[in-house]
Amino acid sequence: MLPPGALLDRYEIVAPIGEGGMGHVYAARDLILGRDVALKVLRGADGETLLREAKAAAAVRHPNIVVVHDFGIANGTTYLVMEHIEGRALGEHLPSSAPLARKVRWLLDVARALAAIHATDLVHCDVKPHNILIDGDGRARLIDLGLAAREGRSDRIGAGTPGYSAPEQLAGRVGARADQYAWGVTAFELLAGRRPGDGARLPAELPRPIAAAVARALAQAPSKRHASMAAIAAVLEPFAERPTITRDALARREPEPAPAPAPRRPRPRWVPDAGLIAAALAVWILSPVPPPAPAAPPAPRVVEAPAEVDAHPAQVSLVTRDALHERELGALWSAAPALVPCFDAPGAPQRLTAELDPATAGLVLDPELPPAFAACARSVLDGIRLLPQARRDGSTVHFDRIRP
């Protein structure tokens, strides 16, 4: 342990703020730039892990990933300098009594951070609640890229944390969908209060699209999971709490420059004739008012939801001309892949039409649908409900089967 006041190069130790299996984390002060930082000091002389974390963090920059400022060795001690965040690890919030929308916001933040990491061909390899910080603005920030590896690496057997590592990761195969599995365990633990297994279940009141997204992320086979973390983020977005801007966040923002004043237009040097003005007013008053042009019908909104069925790509598209709320659209989008088996049954139609009933806030299927197909579709769509403020008028949606 380093005592307060100790120096590592230009960094002065202020106080210890955390301890892990590989070292300690301190609040520190950059004596040259005059800013507060977090200093991670590795236990032992091997600095490969911290150097790997520094390189991984330098390869990706995202608002939901903690910024790494510096890496160095001083007096035989290897250290990593990071952005100092006032907040607590998500693991310290468990079990959490936060509103569901806030929990979904945290999970959405982590999903977006992982999507950014995967876009650089890196895999985090150690996603878990204690590697997620909730900052003072309520954002989730992913930390600790010390185990990060390139996609497809197979020489890091056992990397990660037991209970969160995907089956293929424990077997030595590293891929982006291993991070997705660890995200799924973290999501399950945040939403249910415990990790999956031993009969643990997600809350019954959890919106169906969220439950389906978490369940799919936890599939044992990587091929059965989501195509990407971005796909998960698209499902979560309609249910997430909107980010708020605190006074501290506003204080950290640079002031925007004031807009340039509009140029003053010179006043005309002529004075209009009063008779001309009176004649123009008379023509305007007596002229018939043309009827308003009929409003053009809104363009259809199309959302395509990919699914994997029998190892070949298949799609069901969602089409509607109505201005649905984004949360309703997200629920319908998430239901589309689950309708693929219904469309693949013998005698199934190519289109499913449903009305959003303002009286029940649910979906009413076309009565002309084949009974077996209608029963299958109803088992998928029965959980979808309108928002209270959108129950005034019915809306029509169509699900179309697109053959590969």
Instruction: Please list the active-site residues.
Output: 126
Q: How many other CB atoms are there within 10 angstroms of residue 237's CB atom?
A: 16
Those residues whose C-beta lies under 8 Å from the C-beta of residue 226, and which sit 6 or more positions away, are 177, 180, 213, 216, 217, 232
Contact 352, 365 (CB under 8 A): yes
* Gyration radius (Cα) of the chain, Å: 28
DSSP secondary structure of 205-263? TS-HHHHHHHHHHT-SSGGGS-S-HHHHHHHHGGGSPPP---HHHHHHSPPPPPPPPPP
Q: How far apart are CA 131 and CA 137, in angstroms?
A: 17
Place of tokens 């415990």: 194
Pairing of strands 11-19, 23-30: antiparallel
- 324-360 burial: b if 16+ Cβ within 10 Å, else e: beebbbbbbbbbbbbbbebbeeeebbeebbbebeeee
**Residue 359 half-sphere exposure toward CB, CA atoms < 13 A:** 1
Helix (H) or strand (E) holding 177: helix 176-192
Q: How far is CA 205 from CA 191, 192, 210, 261, in A?
A: 11, 11, 11, 54
Q: How far apart are CA 62 and CA 77, in angstroms?
A: 29
335 beta partners: none
Query: Which tokens in the block code for residue 154?
Result: 């197979």
φ, ψ for residue 282 (rounded to 5)? -65, -45
Query: Which tokens in the block code for residue 314?
Result: 């298949």
DSSP state, 92? G
Query: Which tokens in the block code for residue 330?
Result: 């997200």
Alpha helices in 253-336 (DSSP H): 274-286, 326-335
φ, ψ for residue 378 (rounded to 5)? -65, -35
